[in-house]
Structure 1
Amino acid sequence: MIKPNKLATSIAIAIGVSAISSGAAVAGAGLWPHVVNSPSVTTVVSVINSDTSPTSPDTLHYILWYKNIDPDTSATPPNLRACEEVNVFLPTSPNDIQSIDLGNVFTDPTEDPRLGVLFNDPSVNNDWAGSGRTFALAQAANTTPLRGYLVVDNSDTAGENVSGDALVLEYATGAAWGYYAKTDSGDDFEDEGISHLDSAQISAKPFAQIDTSFMVTPVGPDMSLVGNYTADINLNVGGISVMYDRDENPVSGANPATVRCVGRVEATDLVTGGAQSFLPDGGWSNLIVTNPLGGAVVYQLEYGIDNFNGQPLPAGAQGNYYNNAFELAE
């Protein structure tokens, strides 16, 4: 079995960088499909409430589904563990934006309490500081390393006005990736309007040089109250083959994986060790998601260190590595 070059374990939790290719929109509820918190990773979400209707609420409903992903804390592999949830109503105001450090790493220590809110938010129209309630839900969950997803709902059936984005930041090295929140016109993501993936064509670069992985969030008809949907992930091309190599030769040897609630699946975990021996330079395939309730939201991440195509990289200020991420689409 080919052993890929790995970055430090903390970086491997969540790395890559790109603007995710889906359009921003507004809705009654927003879904942030992938959030991470660890000793070196935090997730910053920006939540926009553009509801100015007469029934505009003065709180938003925040629901975090999360689980511990330390491989040593349970006999159950992290991808198969169930998520727990915490949900609270937190203050808002019409046309408000709040950027929230879910891990509470970068909040200003000279101002008490900052409660996870960033960038000099004055707390006037939206008196978030006066509430005394933290927005840093990943920190409040008191488990690390943590992986999960976030739903924010305006609790107003007349409104369609919650949107935003996320930045997953590995701050020890400056590696980062981000995405737009998914949006939905219903309450608490209680319908099946989430854009999701059932299958997508993927490419894999040489496994030994570049780590390729998939961040997977199975979706279903109620992302706020259920939270533990399951999806099976598989690589398949040409019926029985796992991948075509770079000379168009089909290679068989698929190794399906299952994700409950949210998870990270390495591309090498989807290809048997024997098949990897015939795919030293990677190739292409189709990522297949099996989930009768709604597919999954999937981001592909790629990162490497020291060299690219066998050519050495000059060491930068934070080290000689590179990273990338993007949402997979049909």
Structure 2
Amino acid sequence: MKKSFQKTLIAASVGGLLAVASMSASAINANGTTNLLFPYVNTATSAYTFVTVVNRGDGNAAGNYHFYYGTKAIGAANSGDCDHQDGLATTTANDVMQFEVRKALDLPTIFGDTTSKPYYYTGGTGRNGFLIVNSAAADNPAAINASLYGEAVVIDTASGLRMAYSSDNLQTLGATANSDFSIGNVGPGAGGPETGNSFDANGDAVNDAVHMVSWYQTPTVSTSWFVAPLGLRSEMTPSAGGGLTGTYNMYDSSFAQTGAYDNNENFNSGAKPTSVKCVGVIQRSDILFPGALANTNNGGFSNLATTAVATDGAEDNKSLVYKVQSTSAVGSASTFVSRETIR
């Protein structure tokens, strides 16, 4: 009975993995990279985070990847610290490494992979955060300066979460031990996850990250935003725990006032800044005052500005922002996650 249940669970989970993977982004950076950022991993008991790392030929030899996890308890305060965990995984030339981050399913064994040795997260269940993979020789002597590609699939059977993403444009250039994810991305194969052509409160072009965010009618669809402030790897997931802190606010299209638009093009002023350390989830109620919140419950949009991230990296005020939408209006509980567009 136990073996039958395990087979059923494996079949269902792997089937879900393959089905959701077909939805993942197909764009690939032709040059690969030594550093990958997986911005969302989840270790809930009902969740599976499947990660793929490809080590693309070109003379890449056997060696190490250095894995860095930064996580906090799901539902923890946005001001709370992330825990740090790091260790080495091993690879071979032309290797594809596929694994579930907490080893809820032993994919290498299930799929017959005898050469990949992932470094699993062992910090417990009920956590979320990010994973950074570094293959730079500057990071550790047995690393290989590989041309890496990656993707991830996150499935939560309790919430109905289905998320799939490619690591394309979620990387940095340079074979360095301390990856800088704040660097502005100005095209394929250049820089980090976010561009630098955004705006400040006066509408002037600066390096701040401003994301266009929208939402459906509440409570038919519950909308929030998962954010991760960006900077040096050592600051995003320091060995002592903690992480970078980002400050966020919502603005009108001219950046003259704080607030949000309703679904009839009316601007409702009234918003206050909110902060997130390492990773966190922003609700509209964290930023909008009660009047603006109530007046935009039928749907609306705003400009979510990252107004402060102090980092020793190349650029300040950068964040990744993902919209999280949950609803039962389509017949069953479903949660969808998508990356927000930087303005």
Q: TM-score, normalised by structure 1?
A: 0.75
Aligned-partner SS, 2:342? coil
More moved, 215-224 vs 41-50: 215-224
Equivalent position of 2:126 in the other structure: 145
More moved, 206-215 vs 172-181: 172-181
By how many angstroms is 1:23 displaced? 3.4
Q: Residue 229 of structure 1: which of 227, 233, 244 is its match?
A: 244
By how many angstroms is 1:297 displaced? 1.1
Give the RMSD, CA atoms, in angstroms.
2.7
Identify if the C-alpha distance between structure 1 residues 23 and 270 changes in structure 2 by more than 3 Å, giving closer, same or farther. Answer: farther
By how many angstroms is 1:320 displaced? 5.4
Q: Residue 38 of structure 2: which of 32, 36, 54 is its match?
A: 32
Equivalent position of 1:43 in the other structure: 49
Establish whether residue 136 from structure 1 lines up as the match of residue 142 from structure 2. Answer: no
Higher relative contact order (CA 8 A, sep 6+): 1
Aligned-partner SS, 1:156? coil
By how many angstroms is 1:100 displaced? 1.2
CA contact (8 A) 1:60 1:153 kept: yes
Q: TM-score, normalised by structure 2?
A: 0.73
Establish whether residue 184 from structure 1 lines up as the match of residue 166 from structure 2. Answer: no
Establish whether residue 164 from structure 1 lines up as the match of residue 162 from structure 2. Answer: no
By how many angstroms is 1:246 displaced? 2.0
More moved, 165-174 vs 38-47: 165-174
By how many angstroms is 1:47 displaced? 1.1
By how many angstroms is 1:241 displaced? 3.7
**AA in 1 matched with 2:126:** P
CA contact (8 A) 1:190 1:222 kept: yes
**AA in 2 matched with 1:325:** S
CA contact (8 A) 1:24 1:164 kept: no
CA distance in 1, matches of 2:334, 2:41: 22
CA contact (8 A) 1:44 1:168 kept: yes
Aligned-partner SS, 1:274? helix
Unaligned runs of 5+ in 1: 1-16, 72-76, 108-113, 129-133, 307-312
Question: How many correspondences in the alignment?
Answer: 279
Matches within 5 A, 1:273-288: 273-288=290-305
Offset from partner CA, 1:300-322 (integer Å, 9 cap, x none): 1222123xxxxxx4x3xxx2546
Identify if the C-alpha distance between structure 1 residues 27 and 118 changes in structure 2 by more than 3 Å, giving closer, same or farther. Answer: farther
Offset from partner CA, 1:110-151 (integer Å, 9 cap, x none): xxxx4x64751330xx253xxxxx6331xx112x32111111
CA distance in 1, matches of 2:270, 2:194: 26
Equivalent position of 2:14 in the other structure: none
Equivalent position of 1:122 in the other structure: 113
